[in-house]
């Protein structure tokens, strides 16, 4: 089987992290975002992954070559010269996706994190005999999304309603699809939307079916959702493979610590924290609901919550960093500084407090 991952554009919503790396290579729970998907695809027998990409393909491919060998899966690129939306890339990658087997192929949005129940999706797809399957997930506020209206018993999709004013349902497109090769005949090579153009046409022919995603789901393409996604992911890890989580008197709730990180005396870490490789967390530090990326040093008695600390940054002694502060790569926060929602571009030194959310260039 094959899969196409829609990698797309510049990752502007996750800046300043994406100023250093393409978004799919930004770590989520100590692993590049895209690797969560590639490993899950490999586990159910996908042999080739095609990345639909229009930004920094060289960086991506250099990085992924190393994972090709490690994971044991073929990874190729389909490069757009202009943005083609969410359906155009399928037409562009047509020759890479079609083979003699006639098997369906997966399509994924690269920002989506979940338990990836691909095996159940393949069974669901074979069972209904239609042309395309999409995953849907239940949300509390459907008015912010495009809602999928479907038959509860069969999963047959009746229609799509974009940001409904009145309640029509609470299931939204989760950005995970399984499509028969014949779907490619319906897509032209031009900027086009799979959600707004292709799927409604297939639904009109009664050949589009939706499966409700079991477990959690999050689009982690922006900082607030990234932090929420980390909580949901660590919750899921607790249920499914809790041995990966840290334990100890200084750990509260679900915490992921790379084995090469060093934790000082008297720290209190958690809940919902990921600490990357080579990090040094000095004594008396308090971390909660945050990600600390590779090579970061957090000095004595600093306090960090609801924030993302980018690669090789330093947070000074007694500093307080909170409220969706995002530090880009190699940012140095001086001792006793307060950051309330500062978004700091790479290679900066912060010598005075950031009292309200702002971008520091």
pLDDT at 65: 80
Rounded to two decimals, the pTM is: 0.89
Q: Where are the domains of the chain?
A: 2-219, 226-359
User: Which residues of the chain fall below pLDDT 70?
Assistant: 9-11, 55-56
Q: Three-class SS of residue 356?
A: coil
pLDDT given at position 56: 64
Q: Would you identify the CATH topology of the domain 2-219?
A: Spore Coat Polysaccharide Biosynthesis Protein SpsA; Chain A (3.90.550)
Where do we find the tokens 């027998």? 45
Instruction: State the architecture of 226-359 in CATH terms.
Output: 3 Solenoid (2.160)
Q: Give residue-wise pLDDT tens across range 260-316.
A: 999 999 999 989 999 999 999 999 999 999 999 999 999 999 999 999 999 999 999
- Three state DSSP letters for 133-191: EEEEEECCCHHHCEEEEECCCCCEEEEEEECCCCCCCCEEEEEEEEECHHHHHHCCCCC
- For residues 137 and 59, give the distance between their C-alpha atoms in angstroms, rounded to a whole number: 32
The per-residue pLDDT for 63 is 79
């Amino acid at each position: 089987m094959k899969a196409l991952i829609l990698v797309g554009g510049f990752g502007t919503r996750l800046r300043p992290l994406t100023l250093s790396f393409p978004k799919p290579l930004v770590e989520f729970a100590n692993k590049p975002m895209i690797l969560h998907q590639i490993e899950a695809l490999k586990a159910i027998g996908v042999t080739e992954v095609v990345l639909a990409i229009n930004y920094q393909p060289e960086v991506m491919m250099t990085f992924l070559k190393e994972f090709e060998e490690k994971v044991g899966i073929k990874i190729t690129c389909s490069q757009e010269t202009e943005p083609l939306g969410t359906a155009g890339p399928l037409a562009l990658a047509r020759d890479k996706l079609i083979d003699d087997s006639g098997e369906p192929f997966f399509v994924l949005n690269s920002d989506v994190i979940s338990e990836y129940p691909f095996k159940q999706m393949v069974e669901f797809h074979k069972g209904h005999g239609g042309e395309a399957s999409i995953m849907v997930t239940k949300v509390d506020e459907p008015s912010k999304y495009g809602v999928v209206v479907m038959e509860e018993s069969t999963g047959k999709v009746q229609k799509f309603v974009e940001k409904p004013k009145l309640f029509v349902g609470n299931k939204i497109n989760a950005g995970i699809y399984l499509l028969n090769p014949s779907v490619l005949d319906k897509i032209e090579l031009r900027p086009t939307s799979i959600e707004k153009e292709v799927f409604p046409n297939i639904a009109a022919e009664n050949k589009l079916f939706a499966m409700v995603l079991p477990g959690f789901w999050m689009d982690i393409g922006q900082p607030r959702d990234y932090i929420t996604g980390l909580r949901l992911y660590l919750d899921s890890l607790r249920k499914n493979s809790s041995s990966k989580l840290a334990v100890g008197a200084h750990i509260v709730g679900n915490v992921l610590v790379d084995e090469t990180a060093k934790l000082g005396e008297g720290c209190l870490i958690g809940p919902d924290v990921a600490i990357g490789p080579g990090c040094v967390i000095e004594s008396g530090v308090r971390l909660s609901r945050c990600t600390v990326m590779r090579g970061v040093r957090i000095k004595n008695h600093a306090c960090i919550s609801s924030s993302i600390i980018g690669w090789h940054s330093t947070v000074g002694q007694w500093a307080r960093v909170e409220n969706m502060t995002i530090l880009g790569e190699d940012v140095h926060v001086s001792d006793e500084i307060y950051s309330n929602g500062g978004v700091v571009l790479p290679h900066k030194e912060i010598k005075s407090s950031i009292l309200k959310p702002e971008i520091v260039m």
